[in-house]
Amino acid sequence: MRLVIVSNRLPFTVVEKENVLKFKESVGGLVSGLKAYLDALKNISSSEYSWIGWPGISVDDGLKEKLRSQALSEYHAYPVFVPQEIMEDFYNGFCNKTVWPLFHYFPFLTVYKEDLWNQYRKVNEIFRDAVMEVLKPGDTVWIHDYHFMLLPGLLREKMPHVPIGFFLHIPFPSFEIFRLLPRKWRKEILEGVLGADLIGFHTQDYTQYFLRCVLRILGHEHSMGEIPLEDRVVKADTLPMGVDFQRFCDAVSNPDVQNEMEKLKKTLNGFKLVFSIDRLDYTKGILNRLQGYEIFLAKNPEWHRKVVLALVVVPSRTEVEQYQQMKKQIDELVGLINGRFGSIDWTPILYRYRFLPFSSLIAQYCSGDIALITPLRDGMNLVAKEYIATRTDGTGVLILSEMAGASKELEEAIIINPNHTEEIAEALKDALEMPVEEQIRRNRIMQERLQRYDVTEWVDDFVSKLILIKEEQKRYNAKLLDDRIKEQMLENFRRAKRRLILLDYDGTLVPFAARPELAKPGVDILELMNRLSNYPKTDVVLTSGRDRNTLRNWFGALNISFIAEHGVWIKKKNEEWRLTRPLNTEWKSRLLPVLEAYVDRVPGSFVENKEFSIVWHYRNSDPELASMRAKELMDDLVDFTANIDVQVSKGNKVIEVRNAGINKGTTALHFISEDYDFMLAIGDDWTDEDLFRILPDEAYSIKVRMTPSRARFNLHNHYEVISLLKYLIHIS
Ligand code: GDG
Residue at a domain's end among 205, 238, 271: 238
- 287 and 433 belong to one structural domain: yes
Average pLDDT of the segment spanning 195-219: 96
30 Cβ closer than 6 Å to some ligand 1 atom: yes
- 642 and 519 belong to one structural domain: no
pLDDT at residue 165, as a whole number: 98
Angle at 387 between CA 381 and CA 393, to 5 degrees: 155
Please check the confidence at residue 47 and state whether its pLDDT lies above 80. Answer: no
Asked, for residue 460, whether it belongs to a domain, the answer is: no
Q: What is the pLDDT of residues 117-142, one digit of tens each?
A: 999 999 999 999 999 999 999 999 99
Q: How would residue 166 be classed by pLDDT, with cut points 50, 70 and 90?
A: very high
Phi first, then psi: give them for residue 352, nearest 5 degrees: -125, 135
Catalytic residue positions, numbered = 504
Q: How would residue 645 be classed by pLDDT, with cut points 50, 70 and 90?
A: confident
Amino acid of residue 444 = R
- 113 and 69 belong to one structural domain: yes
Asked, for residue 641, whether it belongs to a domain, the answer is: yes
- 398 and 306 belong to one structural domain: yes
Please check the confidence at residue 319 and state whether its pLDDT lies above 90. Answer: no
Residue at a domain's end among 626, 659, 692: 659
pLDDT at residue 42, as a whole number: 65
Return the percentage of the chain with pLDDT > 70, whole number.
98
Q: Domain total for the chain? A: 4
pLDDT at residue 38, as a whole number: 77
First to last CA, the chain: 41
Q: Which of 382, 403, 455 has the most ligand 1 atoms within 8 A of CB, as the residue to mutate? A: 382
- 524 and 602 belong to one structural domain: no
383 Cβ closer than 6 Å to some ligand 1 atom: yes
pLDDT at residue 322, as a whole number: 82
Average pLDDT of the segment spanning 698-721: 92
Q: Which of 437, 478, 381 is nearest to 712 (CA)?
A: 478
Residue at a domain's end among 198, 217, 238: 238
Asked, for residue 465, whether it belongs to a domain, the answer is: no
pLDDT at residue 506, as a whole number: 94
Sign of CA dihedral 77, 80, 81, 84: negative
Task: List the CATH number of the domain containing 653.
Answer: 3.30.70.1020
Asked, for residue 464, whether it belongs to a domain, the answer is: no
Q: Which of 220, 468, 264 is nearest to 363 (CA)?
A: 264
pLDDT at residue 323, as a whole number: 87
Average pLDDT of the segment spanning 288-314: 98
Please check the confidence at residue 44 and state whether its pLDDT lies above 60. Answer: no
pLDDT at residue 14, as a whole number: 86
Contact 110, 152 (CB under 8 A): no
Asked, for residue 714, whether it belongs to a domain, the answer is: yes
* Whole-number Å distance between alpha carbons of 117 and 263: 50
Task: List the CATH number of the domain containing 41.
Answer: 3.40.50.2000
Asked, for residue 470, whether it belongs to a domain, the answer is: no
Q: Which of 148, 169, 257, 351 has the most ligand 1 atoms within 8 A of CB, as the residue to mutate? A: 169
Asked, for residue 144, whether it belongs to a domain, the answer is: yes
- 257 and 316 belong to one structural domain: yes
- 76 and 114 belong to one structural domain: yes
pLDDT at residue 45, as a whole number: 57
Classified as helix, coil or strand, 429 is: helix
625 Cβ closer than 6 Å to some ligand 1 atom: no
Contact 242, 450 (CB under 8 A): yes
Mean per-residue pLDDT of the chain: 93
379 Cβ closer than 6 Å to some ligand 1 atom: yes
Average pLDDT of the segment spanning 650-656: 89
Please check the confidence at residue 293 and state whether its pLDDT lies above 90. Answer: yes
- 41 and 99 belong to one structural domain: yes
pLDDT at residue 495, as a whole number: 95
- 257 and 328 belong to one structural domain: yes
**Domain span including residue 616:** 586-659
27 Cβ closer than 6 Å to some ligand 1 atom: yes
541 CB neighbour count, 10 Å cutoff = 26
Q: Are strands 499-503 and 646-650 parallel, antiparallel or unpaired?
A: unpaired
- For 105-133, letters b (16+ CB in 10 Å) and e give bbeebbeeeeebbebbbbbbebbbebbee
- 123 and 100 belong to one structural domain: yes
Asked, for residue 458, whether it belongs to a domain, the answer is: no
How many A from CA of 29 to the centre of ligand 1?
4
142: left (phi over 0), alpha (psi -120 to 50) or beta: beta
* Whole-number Å distance between alpha carbons of 78 and 127: 11
Instruction: List the 397-401 sheet strands across, edge first.
Output: 349-353, 307-314, 272-279, 370-373, 397-401, 414-416
> H/E element holding 158?
helix 151-158
- 600 and 652 belong to one structural domain: yes
- 591 and 563 belong to one structural domain: no
Please check the confidence at residue 493 and state whether its pLDDT lies above 80. Answer: yes
Q: How would residue 262 be classed by pLDDT, with cut points 50, 70 and 90?
A: very high
